[in-house]
Amino acid sequence: MTMRIPARVVRAAVAGLAIVTAVAVAAWCSACTAPDQQPHQASQPADAELNPLVARGEVEKVSGGFTFTEGPVWLASRGVLLFSDVPADTINQLQPPATITVFRRPTGRSNGLGLDPQGRLIASEGDNRRVSRTLAEGTVVTVADRWQGKRLNSPNDNITRSDGTIYFTDPPYGLPPGQARELDFQGVFRVDPAGTLHLESREFNRPNGVALSPDEKTLYVDDTADGLVRTFPVRPDGSLGASTIFVPSTGGGGDGIAVDGAGNVYVATDGGVKVYRPSGALWGTIPVPEVPSNCTFGGADRKTLYITAKTSLYRVALRIPGFS
């Protein structure tokens, strides 16, 4: 979720933002009382050799006029999409087809959004330098904010395994102006179901998007600065093995990642959303009018790919339902 927004723009975008939209949060809290349908449970495996781009729909602009959109996540229990507008310090809600309302403001300049197995919102908050969880009654609590006593850089994206294990990336992109870094690396972290934070990798230049394979045995992480995607084997306890290169070159950038039910991997890059086979071979590219930052599957059948891109939100209909 790369973001390079001038400080004057950020200050202007967040000026005066100090409210929380009570109606939206109340609706969210009621939805959290029952587990949401998770990406991990949403779709059946499809033929791995079925080209996901055949007979795809046209890329459609849902809404525009935002500052920098990011972090889309589908709430199946409510049939809505949440996404961040990072400099505006806002999480927006889309009620399809095109009704946009404010879900929460302020947000700690949330970036990547995800869901835990109970359907509770997991947010990567750059300004607060933490990963948070929204409890059923609406309270926002810290999941992780320090490693060995030092503050995290600015958590960027997250994904949660079906047992509650949370994986997140921690580049310095969202570090608040005037605040110094305390870590001398950009890590990939894991929070186990008991709440203990583990450092899994420090080999990245700028770790960014993160996603799991349908069987939850592989974790995908891309590196925006190096323009590549790595995979990690996921052990039964949630810890990660040694990484391997999945995509040696995205052709430019690498941001949010989504995975469909057949294991195809969708990566937001400077050249559009690139779609890779489970082997790492390229199927093709979904062109987007603006540079995409992230993507996720949604809709009742999970066959709609929602794409955040600069100042807008887009969507495209696909033939294989999504997993994450």
Cα-atom radius of gyration of the chain, to the nearest Å? Answer: 18
Tokens of 178: 């005037």
Determine phi and psi for 10, rounding to 5 degrees: -60, -45
Cβ–Cβ under 8 Å, residues 102 and 24:
yes
pLDDT for res 234: 98
pLDDT for res 42: 37
Task: Tell me the C-alpha distance between 149 and 291, whole Å.
Answer: 37
Residue for token pair 């500052």: 67
Task: Tell me the C-alpha distance between 173 and 96, whole Å.
Answer: 31
Task: Tell me the C-alpha distance between 300 and 309, whole Å.
Answer: 23
Is CATH 3.30.1330.60 what the domain over 7-317 is classified as, yes or no?
no
Cβ–Cβ under 8 Å, residues 238 and 20:
no
pLDDT for res 124: 98
Tokens of 34: 């029952």
Task: Tell me the C-alpha distance between 318 and 301, whole Å.
Answer: 10
**DSSP collapsed to 3 states, the chain:** CCCCCCHHHHHHHHCCCCCCCHHHHHHHHHHHCCCCCCHHHCCCCCCCCCCCCCCCCCCEEEECCCCCEEEEEEECCCCEEEEEECCCCEEEEEECCCEEEEEECCCCCEEEEEECCCCCEEEEECCCCEEEEECCCCCEEEEECEECCEECCCCCCEEECCCCCEEEEECCCCCCCCCCCCCCCEEEEEECCCCCEEEEEEEECCEEEEEECCCCCEEEEEECCCCEEEEEEECCCCCECCCEEEECCCCCCCCCEEEECCCCEEEEECCEEEEECCCCCEEEEECCCCCEEEEEEECCCCCEEEEEECCEEEEEECCCCECC
Amino acid at residue number 76: A
pLDDT for res 19: 39
Residues paired with 232 in a beta bridge: 219
Residue 49 vs residues 46, 54, 221, 248, 250: alpha-carbon distances, Å? 9, 12, 23, 22, 21
pLDDT for res 49: 62
Tokens of 49: 């050799």
Extents of the domains making up the chain: 7-317
pTM surpassing 0.75? yes
Which ranges of the chain have pLDDT less than 70? 1-49
